[in-house]
Structure 1
Amino acid sequence: MSKSVQDRVIAIVAEQAMLDPDEITLGSTPAELGIDSLGLVESIFAIEEAFDISIPFNANEPAQSDFDISSMGAIIAAVEKLVAGKA
């Protein structure tokens, strides 16, 4: 994983969850971090803006999305893939 992408995504999610970035691990789930569906959507918008990418995410049916939100590691990997595809 690219450290800069990882650090930026963790910083965005930490800000949304009102946590210190050090409290977030790659295994943390949004629910464990106290992020509800609205917070998740806001985090996704912030990630899209920060990386100038479009995330294929359906907040109403996350299981139907190609964007895995099961853990921070999965979110970071998906963002890295989108960033790499943009280059």
Structure 2
Amino acid sequence: MELAVDTRLVELIAEKAEVEPGELNLDSTFEKLGLDSLHLMEIALWVRKEYGVDIPEGDLRYDQTARAGLDYLMDKVR
């Protein structure tokens, strides 16, 4: 199950960045991936809808790497 959650979160971030999941550079910041605060809010809302976990505003920041954001989300979802 955990792999499925991880995979789905990567797919969601890639979708917002308009790249294929395999092309997503997890070491790039959300900003370098072209994501802004609205995209990050959409990701947080999706996590709440899918997993019932609230992601406080500001916990996902456009200056953090996609890997750091993914790790944070995985910790919250587990």
TM-score normalised by the chain length of structure 1:
0.69
Q: Tell me the equivalent position of 1:73.
A: 67
**Following TM superposition, by how much is the alpha carbon of 1:12 offset from its aligned partner in structure 2, in angstroms?**
0.9
CA RMSD, Structure 1 to Structure 2 (Å) = 1.8
* Count of paired positions: 75
Q: Tell me the equivalent position of 1:44.
A: 44
**Structure with the greater alpha carbon radius of gyration:** 1
TM-score normalised by the chain length of structure 2:
0.75
Gapped regions of structure 1 (runs ≥ 5) = 59-66
Gapped regions of structure 2 (runs ≥ 5) = none
Q: Percent identity?
A: 28
- Runs (4 or more) in structure 1 with deviation over 4 Å come to none
Q: Deviations over 1:38-63 (max 9, x none)?
A: 122112212322222111223xxxxx
User: Is the 8 Å Cα contact of residues 44 and 54 (structure 2) preserved in structure 1?
Assistant: no
User: Is the 8 Å Cα contact of residues 53 and 76 (structure 2) preserved in structure 1?
Assistant: yes
**Following TM superposition, by how much is the alpha carbon of 1:68 offset from its aligned partner in structure 2, in angstroms?**
5.1
Q: Tell me the equivalent position of 2:6.
A: 6
Q: Deviations over 1:55-86 (max 9, x none)?
A: 1223xxxxxxxx354111111211121122xx
